[in-house]
Amino acid sequence: MLIRRADAIKSSEITSLDLFLRRREFLRGAGWVAAGAVLAPTLACGAEGEARPLAPRAGADANPFRTDEKPTAFKDATRYNNFYEFGTDKSDPRRYAGSLRTRPWSVAITGEVGKPGTIDLDDLLRPHSAEERIYRLRCVEAWSMVIPWLGIPLGEIIKRFEPTSGARYVAFKTLLDPEQMPGQRSRVLDWPYLEGLRIDEAMHPLTILATGMYGQELPNQNGAPLRLVVPWKYGFKSIKSIVEIRLARTEPPTSWNLQAPREYGFFANVNPDVDHPRWSQKRERRIGELRKRPTILFNGYADQVAHLYQGIDLRKYF
C-alpha cells in the first residue's frame, strides 16, 4: 500500500498542540458549534492567539483518505510557507499576511456552468460542512508536511452550479489587491495567481477546498480564507485566497507554468523520476525532521489517482 489508513483515529489523537487541545475543551463545553458563528477573532498573521474553531462534518473519522502519519507541528506549518503574495521568503507570509481581510469573502463560479453565481464564505462554513483529512503536502523544493485539513470536496461545490458538457478544465484565481497583499507589488510573477486542474482531477474526492487546518479556520499565511488542496500534486497547485473558480473548455494558464514552463508543468504530479532542472525530486525532507526520505509517486496516493493518467507520458506531461 502506498497510503496508510487509520479510519478509527479521532481528531483528538492527531496532535498535541495546545491550541488544538483548547478547541476540544471548548467543544466539550458547548457541543458542536456553527462554524460561521463569531466565536473569536481569526488567527492573525504572526499571532499564536485564539482562532475560530471549525466543527468537522459527522463521520469524518471514517474518512478513507486519512493517513496515520504524524502531523507536522502547528508552529512549523504556520511559520514556513510559500505565499508569494506576501513575499518570497518562507517566513514572509507569517510576518506580512496580517494585512489580508478575510471578511466579507465570496467566490464567483463562472464559465461552463448552467447556473453561474457566487458562494459566500460563511455558506461554506455552515455547521458540519467541513471534513477533516490528514494529507501530505509535497513542495517542489523537496520538502513536505503532513497537515490535518478541514475542507469541502471541490466536486460537491462544482455540482451545485451544473457544469456543462463543455467543462473540461477548472481554473482558479487568487485575490488581486496589492494593498492587502504587498508581495503583488513585485514582478516575481504576473498577478493575480492562476491555477488549474482537469475536470476529472477537480471532481476526484481527494481534492478539497480547505477552509481550515488543525481544527480551526485557516491562518492568513496558510491561504485564508479558502485554498485548494490536491494532495497528490506539488504544493504550487494549492492556490490560496481564491476569489474565482471558472469551468473552461480549454486548458487554462497557470502562474508557474507561465513564469517557467521548462520547470513547472500543468499537471504537477509528484513524480520522483522527473527531476526539477535545478534539483533532484527523488528524496524529500519532512519539515521538523533532519533525515530525508524517498519521494513516493503521486505523493503516496497512486492507489487512488493513477488511473486518471493511464496512457499519459508523465515525463512529457509533468
pLDDT digits (tens, 9 = 90+) for 154-212: 999 999 999 999 999 999 999 999 999 999 999 999 999 999 999 999 999 999 999 99
* CA distances (Å), origin 172, targets 186, 207, 248, 252, 285: 21, 13, 11, 9, 29
Task: Say what the pLDDT of residue 15 is.
Answer: 41
The residue type found at 294 is P
For 47, half-sphere exposure in the C-beta direction (CA atoms, 13 angstrom radius) is: 14
Instruction: Name the average pLDDT for the chain.
Output: 83
Beta bridge partners of 217: 212
Residue 75 cell numbers, joined? 508552529
Closest C-alpha among 134, 150, 145 to residue 81: 145
The answer to whether 39 and 88 are in contact (CB under 8 A) is no
Q: Where are the domains of the chain?
A: 11-309
Beta-sheet strands, E only, within the chain: 106-111, 117-120, 131-139, 143-153, 169-174, 194-198, 208-213, 216-217, 227-229, 242-248, 283-286, 292-294
| pLDDT category of residue 31 using cuts at 50, 70 and 90 | very low
Higher pLDDT: 83 or 57? It is 83
Residues 215-235, mean pLDDT to the nearest whole number: 96
The verdict on domain 11-309 having CATH code 3.90.420.10 is yes
pTM, two decimals, is 0.82
Question: Residues with Cβ < 8 Å from 247, sequence gap 6 or more?
Answer: 109, 110, 111, 112, 113, 158, 161, 163, 164, 167, 169, 170, 171, 199
Task: Say what the pLDDT of residue 51 is.
Answer: 65
Closest C-alpha among 154, 160, 150, 151 to residue 118: 160
Unique residue bearing C-alpha cell 483528538: 12
- Please say if the pLDDT value at position 59 is more than 60: no
Task: Say what the pLDDT of residue 181 is.
Answer: 98
Residues 218-226, mean pLDDT to the nearest whole number: 97
